Amino acid sequence: MAADVHKKKGWEVPNGSLAPGDGQHAERAESPTPGLAQGTEPGAGQEGAMFVHTRSYEDLTSPEDGGVAARSPEERQGEPAEPTSMEQISKDFSELSTQLTGMALDLEEEMRQNKEGKLEPSPQAARRDSVLSGKEEEDVTMDAWRMHRKHVFVLSEAGKPVYSRYGSEEALSSTMGVMMALVSFLEAEKNAIRSIHADGYKVVFVRRSPLVLVAVARTRQSEQEIAHELLYIYYQILSLLTWTQLNHIFQQKQNYDLRRLLAGSERITDNLLDLMAHDPSFLMGAVRCLPLASSVRDAVSTSLQQAKAKSLVFSILLSGNQLVSLVRKKDQFLHPIDLHLLFNLISSSSSFREGEAWTPICLPKFNSSGFFHAHISYLEQEMDLCLLLVSTDREDFFTVSDCKRRFQERLRRRGVYHALQEALRTPFYSVAQVGIPDLRHFIYKSKSSGLFTSPEIEAPYVREEEKERLLGLYQYLHSRAHNSSRPLKNIYFTGPRENLLAWVTSAFELYICYSPLGTKAGAISAVNKLMKWIRKEEDRLFILTPQTY
Amino acid sequence: MAGTSLDRTHPTYIYKVVLLGSTSVGKSSLAYRYVKNDFKESLPTMGCAFLTQTLCLEAATVRLEIWDTAGQEKYHSVCHLYYRGAHAALLVYDITSKETLSRAKLWLQELEKEFLHDEIVIALVGNKTDLMAEREVTTEEGEEFAKSKNLLYMETSAKSNYHVSEVFTAVAQELVAREGEKAAVQRPAPTDLQEPRGSGPRCCQL
Ligand SMILES: Nc1nc2c(ncn2[C@@H]2O[C@H](COP(=O)(O)OP(=O)(O)OP(=O)(O)O)[C@@H](O)[C@H]2O)c(=O)[nH]1
Ligand SMILES: [Mg+2]
């Protein structure tokens, strides 16, 4: 291992270039719809968008991105494999699901013991029993259920484990073997998405040569949505290695153990999976802004814009997973996926809190073949404001570091530090501000700006499971609205605990959740009221005047 | 002329110091202890982190620009970026892991290819002395290797704050001493802190 220090230079990847990798600067569709034409909806930028225009998650899984088979279930079953191998697959799969169950319980036990402060794993034998006793049982089963709601595995095409969400890859090697048997049935296509359904699980495969990503899920998500999450994992790996380096490695050595290179980054992938289960940004393929008075935001943006340098492509100010401001080089657009990856990178590492970080980073949707260098730092010790300066020149640390200093100086001179601090005290707003009694929560996305807004999730969605359940309902509506064979524009969903309504037009997407006692008519009038409220608040909730250097 | 003029009695120097070594040997913890005098659980560094610390020595004021690099393997391809132009390097290993000492030796070979012997001050640092019970590398072993390669040597603990500022001070002193030796040959060029970056002979640009 140590001997490789020198050889590594061969993998060196050139500085990130501005040439987009895969024709992402597509023209925007100009389809006027009843109601609002795209570009005039609340939240639409006044001077164009900051982001590459995306069509929500189809963008990830559409054929142009590598080819998805959106097939009907019949086709899927009939086509890829002979009947005998299908039988084999089901058999393998039953074995696999038992293994998964056992594993998740073990892991759950370990976690519980850790919480109690016993760090050494206790003897294996004792565990299973405690799972089955008394009141605890319920908790455990509940947690265990959550634990194995979605397993995620990444392996190389040669079958070497790369990543596993739960448990060590070592212990999983037999599982991986089964995976490979399963994977072999999509051998034919290099970039395919396939799925099988069995025992209440969905198994979704995404093959992005040289990697294969597999999810075993018991969530209500559609296979497209699960595939979408797997692609995020794929892009996350690219963001650390670049597509070029990844391919180079496997061309040199087909059975390379990628865990060596990814060692220490597992937590970034773990964090991404957790984030996707909680944060609607990923589902919406859009970015949420920190609510901020437009005068303050403009002052911040102008300060960022003035603190520019030749090599800078993007200057991004973040708070938590919300965008405060983004300034970009003229004609260069960031893809929301790349921004989500940056959000995840920052939220999964506390090390950026100290000093100034200068790290190679690939923005795979922007250009998957090269590294940018990102200057990452927090503005103040106790303030949740992280500044990201993305540069094309890895030699430019001091220039970029100086941009940060100039930015801070300008902020201070414009006297907006205090206002920012105030805004950070309430990073989320309450749905009560809208003034619709039955309204519990909503997500509104402006398609032309790629931005969305959503209030804090409040009672009755207090516990984590409840929050995830709400997001699950949105996921469900979203998948119905974007079903590639039969997309729906309006969906009205009544459930025992809440009612939901989805409205998707070419300009915006709106999902609202309201009390189960509310009527459909009530929901429709709520939508009207809500749209007016969003329009009234749009300059606080969105970035209407994005800047460029 | 040797640097004896009165207005030059207390010059200020800026030096680039790079921390190199395997992942989780404690490079970031050492830097954090030195700069913030604190210890906390840290996560692996990505790319590198940049910190500064100024110390006043008898002979000069020294500002250390510390580049705390990432030890993870995936960053090795960019590491040379971070040590290029360094005035000093701390090769850090973990005394509870022999393997990390071997890696430190490899870093030394890297540096020997990049720098002439008198171009860079190198210190070998065995960290985590608080974990005495798990020690795999003896003090003698580290010391002997350091001696054979003419490196400074020190054992430290970022956690219990043992010899951390000492190791940085020793490096700074060695750097200043070398200025003196150079001055015997040619006039030194003390760097003014106010001076804009990138000018003159100082090598703090990557
Ligand atoms: N006991 C003990 N633990 C230490 C000491 N220094 C660091 N550690 C621990 O070792 C682990 C790794 O420390 P880091 O400082 O992050 O290691 P690093 O060398 O910066 O690692 P990379 O950034 O990945 O290259 C952390 O859990 C630290 O708490 C020490 O002196 N004693
Ligand atoms: Mg570190």
Any ligand 1 atom below 6 A from CB of B136: no
Task: Please give the residue of chain B at the shortest CA–CA distance from A240.
Answer: B74
Strands (E), B32-137: 48-56, 61-69, 88-94, 121-127
Q: What is the CA radius of gyration of chain A?
A: 24
Spatial separation of the C-alpha atoms in residues B151 and B174, rounded to whole Å:
11
Spatial separation of the C-alpha atoms in residues B94 and B98, rounded to whole Å:
8
Between A9 and A529, residue with greater pLDDT? A529
pTM for the structure as a whole: 0.80
Q: Do A401 and B50 touch (CB under 8 A)?
A: yes
Q: Which residues of B touch A245 (CB under 8 A)?
A: 77
Whether the predicted pLDDT of A26 surpasses 80: no
Residue that has been written with the tokens 């206002």 in this structure: A419
Spatial separation of the C-alpha atoms in residues A142 and A138, rounded to whole Å:
6
> How many percent of chain B have pLDDT more than 70?
85
- Answer yes or no: are the C-beta atoms of A61 and A68 closer than 8 Å: yes
Spatial separation of the C-alpha atoms in residues A313 and A361, rounded to whole Å:
13
Q: Which residues of B touch A361 (CB under 8 A)?
A: 47
Residue of A283, A279, A250, A98 lying closest to A174 (CA atoms): A98
Closest ligand to C-alpha of residue B20 is: 1
Question: In the numeric block, which tokens belong to residue A364?
Answer: 């795979």
Whether the predicted pLDDT of A197 surpasses 60: yes
Question: Residue A393 has what pLDDT?
Answer: 92
Which residues pair with residue A37 across a beta bridge?
Answer: none
Provide the greatest CA pair distance for chain A: 73
Which residues, in sequence order, are CB contacts of A412 under 8 Å at separation 6+? none
DSSP letter at A347 equals H
> How far is residue A154 CA from its own chain's centroid?
17
Question: Residue A23 has what pLDDT?
Answer: 37
Question: Residue A81 has what pLDDT?
Answer: 33
A47, exposed or middle or buried, with CB in 10 Å at 0-12, 13-18, 19+?
exposed
DSSP A413-451: HHT-HHHHHHHHH--S--GGGG--TTEEEEEEEETTTTE
Question: Residue A111 has what pLDDT?
Answer: 34
> How many percent of chain A have pLDDT more than 70?
70
Residue type, B104: A
* Tens place of pLDDT per residue across chain B (206 aa): 333 344 457 899 999 999 999 999 999 999 999 999 999 888 899 999 999 999 999 889 999 999 999 999 889 888 888 899 999 999 999 999 999 999 999 999 999 999 988 899 999 999 999 999 999 999 999 999 999 999 999 999 999 999 999 999 999 999 999 987 877 766 545 554 444 443 333 333 33
Order of strands across the sheet that contains A211-217: A161-164, A150-156, A211-217, A201-208, A193-198
Question: Residue A334 has what pLDDT?
Answer: 92
Task: Please give the residue of chain A at the shortest CA–CA distance from B68.
Answer: A357
Whether the predicted pLDDT of A38 surpasses 60: yes
Q: Is B92 helix (H, G, I), strand (E, B) or coil?
A: strand
Q: Which residues of A touch B99 (CB under 8 A)?
A: 2
Spatial separation of the C-alpha atoms in residues B155 and B132, rounded to whole Å:
11
User: Which atom of ligand 1 lies nearest, measured to the CA of B70?
Assistant: 25
Question: In the numeric block, which tokens belong to residue A233?
Answer: 């994992």
Taking each helix axis as running N to C, give the angle between helix A266-278 and helix A464-481, from 0 to 180 degrees, rounded to the nearest 10.
80
Question: Residue A69 has what pLDDT?
Answer: 34
Residue of A344, A88, A102, A80 lying closest to A205 (CA atoms): A80
Residue of B16, B10, B19 lying closest to B63 (CA atoms): B16
User: Which atom of ligand 1 lies nearest, measured to the CA of B72?
Assistant: 24
- Which segment of A239-243, A269-273, A406-410, B79-83 scores lowest on mean pLDDT? B79-83
Whether the predicted pLDDT of A85 surpasses 80: no
On average, the pLDDT of chain A sits at: 76
pLDDT in tens, B124-169: 999 999 999 999 999 999 999 999 999 999 999 999 999 999 999 9
Question: In the numeric block, which tokens belong to residue B179?
Answer: 């200025």
Compute the CA torsion angle B109, B110, B113, B118 (nearest 10 deg): -80
pLDDT in tens, A403-421: 999 999 999 999 898 899 9
Whether the predicted pLDDT of A165 surpasses 50: yes
pLDDT in tens, A321-364: 899 999 999 989 999 999 999 999 998 877 677 789 999 999 99
**Residue located nearest, by CA, to atom 32 of ligand 1:** B128
Which residues, in sequence order, are CB contacts of A133 under 8 Å at separation 6+? none
Residue that has been written with the tokens 């300066």 in this structure: A389
Task: Give this complex's ipTM.
Answer: 0.84
- Answer yes or no: are the C-beta atoms of A261 and A11 closer than 8 Å: no
> How far is residue A452 CA from its own chain's centroid?
14
Q: What separation in Å is there between the alpha carbon of B131 and the centre of ligand 1?
A: 12
Residue of A65, A68, A70 lying closest to A24 (CA atoms): A65
Task: Please give the residue of chain B at the shortest CA–CA distance from A377.
Answer: B49
Average pLDDT over residues A148-177: 72
CA distance A258 to chain B (A): 10
Three-state SS annotation for A450-495: CEEECCCCCCCCCCHHHHHHHHHHHHHHHHHHCCCCCCCCEEEEEC
Which residues pair with residue A211 across a beta bridge?
Answer: A156, A208
Domains of chain B: 2-178 (3.40.50.300)
Q: What are the phi and psi torsion angles at A70 (to 5°)?
A: -95, 85
Any ligand 1 atom below 6 A from CB of B135: no
Closest ligand to C-alpha of residue B44 is: 1
Q: Which residues of A touch B106 (CB under 8 A)?
A: 2-3, 5
B40 in contact with A, Cβ within 8 Å: no
Q: What separation in Å is there between the alpha carbon of A464 and the centre of ligand 2?
A: 32
Question: Residue A189 has what pLDDT?
Answer: 59
Spatial separation of the C-alpha atoms in residues B18 and B111, rounded to whole Å:
11
Across the interface, of B47, B49, B77, the residue whose CB is closest to A8 is B77
Question: Residue B187 has what pLDDT?
Answer: 52
Three-state SS annotation for A311-338: CEEEEEEEECCEEEEEEECCCCCECHHH
Question: Residue A115 has what pLDDT?
Answer: 38
Residue type, A406: R
Closest ligand to C-alpha of residue B72 is: 1
Q: Do A351 and B198 touch (CB under 8 A)?
A: no
Task: Please give the residue of chain A at the shortest CA–CA distance from B51.
Answer: A355
Q: Is A50 helix (H, G, I), strand (E, B) or coil?
A: coil
B74 in contact with A, Cβ within 8 Å: yes
> How far is residue A2 CA from its own chain's centroid?
34
A545, exposed or middle or buried, with CB in 10 Å at 0-12, 13-18, 19+?
middle
Question: Residue A103 has what pLDDT?
Answer: 32
- Kindly report whether the peptide bond that precedes residue A460 is cis, defined as omega within 30 degrees of 0: yes
Whether the predicted pLDDT of A112 surpasses 50: no
DSSP letter at B202 equals -
Residues of A with CB under 8 A from a CB of B: 1-6, 8-9, 11-13, 240-241, 245, 260-265, 267, 345, 349-352, 354-361, 371, 373-374, 394-395, 397-398, 401-402
Q: Which residues of A touch B68 (CB under 8 A)?
A: 355
- Kindly report whether the peptide bond that precedes residue A280 is cis, defined as omega within 30 degrees of 0: no
Q: What are the phi and psi torsion angles at B7 (to 5°)?
A: -70, -5
- Answer yes or no: are the C-beta atoms of B123 and B89 closer than 8 Å: yes
Long-range contacts of A248-253, Cβ-Cβ distance < 8 Å, separation of 24 or more? A248/A11, A249/A11, A249/A210, A250/A156, A250/A157, A250/A210
Q: What separation in Å is there between the alpha carbon of A84 and the centre of ligand 2?
A: 52
Q: Do B197 and A354 touch (CB under 8 A)?
A: no
Q: What are the phi and psi torsion angles at A317 (to 5°)?
A: -115, 125
